[in-house]
C-alpha cells in the first residue's frame, strides 16, 4: 500500500506542471491552432507509415494534461516521432495549453471535427 501511494504521489508531482498549464488553455484559441493536427489525426482510421506503421490516435475528448505533456515531450525530444517533434518544436507553452484545452472540450472523434 505504501508503494502504491508513493507511485501515485510521484505521478502527481511529475504531471503537475502539465496539469497547471492545461488549466490555462483557451479552447477557442486552440481550435484555431489545430490545422497541423488535422493532416494526420483528422483522418478516420488513418495509419502512418513513417517511421513505423501505426494507427494515429484520435485527440477529441483526450485529457488536456496528457496532450500538453505529450507535446512537451515531443518538443524536448523525450518522444521521438519525427513529424510530431517538428510540429511541437514550433509550439509555445500557451499554444500547447490552448490546443489541449480545445481537444479536451470536444467529444471523442477525429481531430478535424
CATH number of the structural domain spanning residue 48? 1.10.760.10
Give residue 95's domain range: 2-104
Residue 71 in domain: yes
- Prior bond of 51 cis (ω within 30°): yes
Residue 109 in domain: no
Residue 113 in domain: no
- Prior bond of 66 cis (ω within 30°): no
Does residue 86 contact residue 8 with C-beta atoms inside 8 Å?
Answer: no
Instruction: Write down the pLDDT at residue 46.
Output: 74
Instruction: Write down the pLDDT at residue 43.
Output: 74
Instruction: Write down the pLDDT at residue 113.
Output: 43
Mean pLDDT of 57-75: 94
Does residue 88 contact residue 71 with C-beta atoms inside 8 Å?
Answer: yes
Average of per-residue pLDDT values in the chain: 80
Does residue 71 contact residue 96 with C-beta atoms inside 8 Å?
Answer: yes
Q: 54 forms bridges with which residues in the sheet? A: 48
Reported as a single tens digit per residue, the pLDDT across 10-53 is 555 555 554 444 458 999 999 999 998 988 887 777 777 766 77
Does residue 111 contact residue 67 with C-beta atoms inside 8 Å?
Answer: no
The shares of helix, strand and coil residues in the chain, as percent rounded to the nearest 5, are 60, 5, 35
Instruction: Write down the pLDDT at residue 110.
Output: 46
pTM, entire model:
0.70
Residue 95 in domain: yes
Nine-digit cell string for 110: 477525429
Report how many domains make up the chain.
Answer: 1
d(CA 76, CA 55) in angstroms, rounded, equals 23
Amino acid at each position: 500500500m505504501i508503494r502504491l501511494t508513493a507511485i501515485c504521489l510521484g505521478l502527481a508531482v511529475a504531471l503537475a506542471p502539465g496539469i497547471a498549464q492545461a488549466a490555462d488553455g483557451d479552447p477557442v484559441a486552440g481550435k484555431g491552432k489545430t490545422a497541423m493536427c488535422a493532416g494526420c489525426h483528422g483522418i478516420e482510421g488513418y495509419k502512418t507509415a513513417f517511421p513505423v506503421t501505426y494507427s494515429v490516435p484520435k485527440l477529441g475528448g483526450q485529457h488536456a494534461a496528457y496532450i500538453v505533456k505529450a507535446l512537451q515531450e515531443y518538443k524536448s525530444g523525450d518522444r521521438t516521432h519525427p513529424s510530431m517533434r517538428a510540429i511541437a518544436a514550433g509550439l509555445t507553452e500557451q499554444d500547447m495549453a490552448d490546443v489541449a484545452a480545445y481537444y479536451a472540450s470536444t467529444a471523442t472523434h477525429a481531430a478535424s471535427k
